[in-house]
Structure 1
Amino acid sequence: MSETLNTEHLISEKVGSRLGAVIYGIDAKKEITEGQKDFLNKELIKNKVIFLKKQFLDDEQHERLSCVFGEPILHPTIAPPKGTKYMFELKSRYGRSTDSWHTDVTFMTNYPKASILRALHIPPYGGTTIWANTATAYEALPAPLKAFADAAWAIHSNDYDTNYYKFDSRKEEMSAFRKEFISNIYKTAHPVVRVHPESGEKSLVLGHFVIGLDGFSTKETNALFEIFQGYITEIENTVTWRWEPGDVAIWDNRSTQHYAPADFDQHRRELRRITVKGEVPVSIDGRCSYYL
């Protein structure tokens, strides 16, 4: 069902049951009006991830659009591509992508509020991105698991064990990327359940940057982590976007995880992302995330 803001002819069309909507009536190459800003921010909170089709933005227009959602910020360890201010480049190498469920940059205390991603080069098949709703995942937990999650804290770090390199034939190039990624090591404690500062929703804060649960062994952490992640990544709790060149995706990084399947062989896949400054998460009992 579509919702329309009549004064600006803006339409939001749902593309998934639990999250996701396409927004019509926005030309992001132009200045975004105050009415459009209000509409986009409300739709983002409600739908968790919103899509603008075939915008074909340049870097400057991309940066201007990101300002609709907050203050653009640099990645804490990866330098932006030459000639850009805030870009993070997602360029496939040897058939790789970030094929691991995560929320962006949770190794920082005030990890990004939102991410704005645009497609430059899309492979002829595959190359989708999948998002999951961490708020509906929390709501789906049985009462005993909710009670456990409400009190639990997880440790996040950029020095984590991932499958990112598992099929790479050019280990030296991937090692160079990893060296830059961990050029500064961050370790942060986040509540497993945070309260959204705008909607008041409770959502799970997990993903592949988790290296431990406070008070639990690695074996126990892994078992508990998989239980909670299973609720997040349940198929019915996700939406998949099949990119076309020029598309833009904007997601609320406080209440989603995402995953990019490595299913496009050796074809080129290139996107660029800007994140905007977030707030320090607050637990159900009012405690804030902190660095370790």
Structure 2
Amino acid sequence: MSERDLIDNVIPHTDVVKCTARIGAEIRNIKVSADLPDQAIAAINGLVLEHKVIFFRDQGHLDDAEQERFALRFGKLSPVPEETTPIFEIDSRRDIGADIWHIDLSCMDAYPKISVLRGVVIPQAGGDTVWSNTATAYLDLPLPLQRLAEGLWAIHSWPSPHYRRFAEPLTGTRIETEHPVVRVHPETGERTLVLGSYVAGFVGVSRYDGLRLFDLFESHITAQENTVRWKWKRGDLAVWDNRATMHCAIKDFGHQRRVVRRATIEGEVPVSVDGRYSVARYKFIQPASTPKVV
């Protein structure tokens, strides 16, 4: 049975509603659970690979423990620097800079392959999340820019350059990794762009030129035709391929509170078009009991 047949056999195509032509699908008539049969988990994984991000409404039965158990069906949970629990809470009362385009934890060498995000406290207005398809963004590049991107390597670092882009890292927890700007997806074979707010510069490129290269490639990633915007409701669940997307939380909800909780699944070390692997340059994680640097 082909992967397409497997998906259709477990989740009827009528229950898969595309959000846009290039990215995103809502999966209907399914109750997400860690107890789903293996075929259902395989079908969900196939839909994530196909649509890059999938959404489930009305999953209010999920709590942190069940979200964690469900996420574990896709692989080992990926640790979050400075955190002590696998479920990472993103609370608007604690500004972590989620309102800028990023790949989850791309400062790590083997950054997460899948992210599972649950809506807990949702504003009455605003607070959407936007995802982009970095595979179609690569395909949209003119051939000379594809070749340029394939030869570039970027330094991804924590603390995030959202605060001090292309500046010296802050003290405390520090992580640096060299990633190819174009990686080969280990499951689909697609070529995807690897950029976002963790980028602190490009290997062998001056800061001046690096800023312009960054803006050039990011403009293709965030082009409207490559994006999908999800309007959250409490109990919604989003699952996305963190190797083929970037995303951004829209901070347009004023003084209302917004809380979402995320689990991430450990990924593979990226491989470039010419077969080279990403390289961890530096890694120092503060103990969780130490005050955080933000």
Name the TM-score, length of structure 2 as normaliser.
0.87
1:282 counterpart = 2:275: no
Alignment root-mean-square deviation, CA: 2.0
Taking a change above 3 Å as real, the CA distance of residues 114 and 96 of structure 1, as seen in their structure-2 partners, is closer
Over residues 186-231 of structure 1, what are the superposed CA-to-partner deviations in whole Å (9 max), with x where a residue is unaligned? 1100000000000000000000000010111111100000000000
5 Å matches for 1:173-184?
A: 183-184=172-173
1:74 and 1:87 in contact (8 A); partners too: no
State the identity as a percent: 43
1:53 counterpart = 2:61: no
2:101 and 2:197 in contact (8 A); partners too: yes
**Equivalent-residue separation in structure 1 for 2:107 and 2:96 (angstroms):** 22
> What stretches of structure 1 of length at least 5 have no aligned partner?
81-85, 165-177
**Equivalent-residue separation in structure 1 for 2:91 and 2:145 (angstroms):** 38
> What count of residue pairs does the alignment treat as equivalent?
270
**Equivalent-residue separation in structure 1 for 2:9 and 2:29 (angstroms):** 11
Partner of residue 24 from structure 2, selected from 6, 12, 20: 20
Secondary structure of 1:200 counterpart: coil
Over residues 224-244 of structure 1, what are the superposed CA-to-partner deviations in whole Å (9 max), with x where a residue is unaligned? 000000000011110000000
Partner of residue 241 from structure 2, selected from 238, 241, 252: 252
Residue in 2 that maps onto 1:146: 146
1:261 counterpart = 2:224: no
Over residues 47-67 of structure 1, what are the superposed CA-to-partner deviations in whole Å (9 max), with x where a residue is unaligned? 000011110111111011102
The alpha-carbon deviation at position 160 of structure 1 amounts to 3.2
2:104 and 2:111 in contact (8 A); partners too: yes
Residue in 1 that maps onto 2:8: 5
Over residues 42-89 of structure 1, what are the superposed CA-to-partner deviations in whole Å (9 max), with x where a residue is unaligned? 000000000111101111110111022211122022333xxxxx1111
2:34 and 2:70 in contact (8 A); partners too: no
**Equivalent-residue separation in structure 1 for 2:242 and 2:200 (angstroms):** 19
**Equivalent-residue separation in structure 2 for 1:30 and 1:69 (angstroms):** 10
**Equivalent-residue separation in structure 2 for 1:233 and 1:23 (angstroms):** 24
Partner of residue 213 from structure 1, selected from 202, 220, 237: 202
> What stretches of structure 2 of length at least 5 have no aligned partner?
282-294
- Kindly report structure 1 stretches of 4+ aligned residues shifted beyond 3 Å: 6-10, 94-97
Name the TM-score, length of structure 1 as normaliser.
0.88
The alpha-carbon deviation at position 162 of structure 1 amounts to 1.2
Secondary structure of 1:223 counterpart: helix
1:102 counterpart = 2:105: no
Taking a change above 3 Å as real, the CA distance of residues 233 and 286 of structure 1, as seen in their structure-2 partners, is same
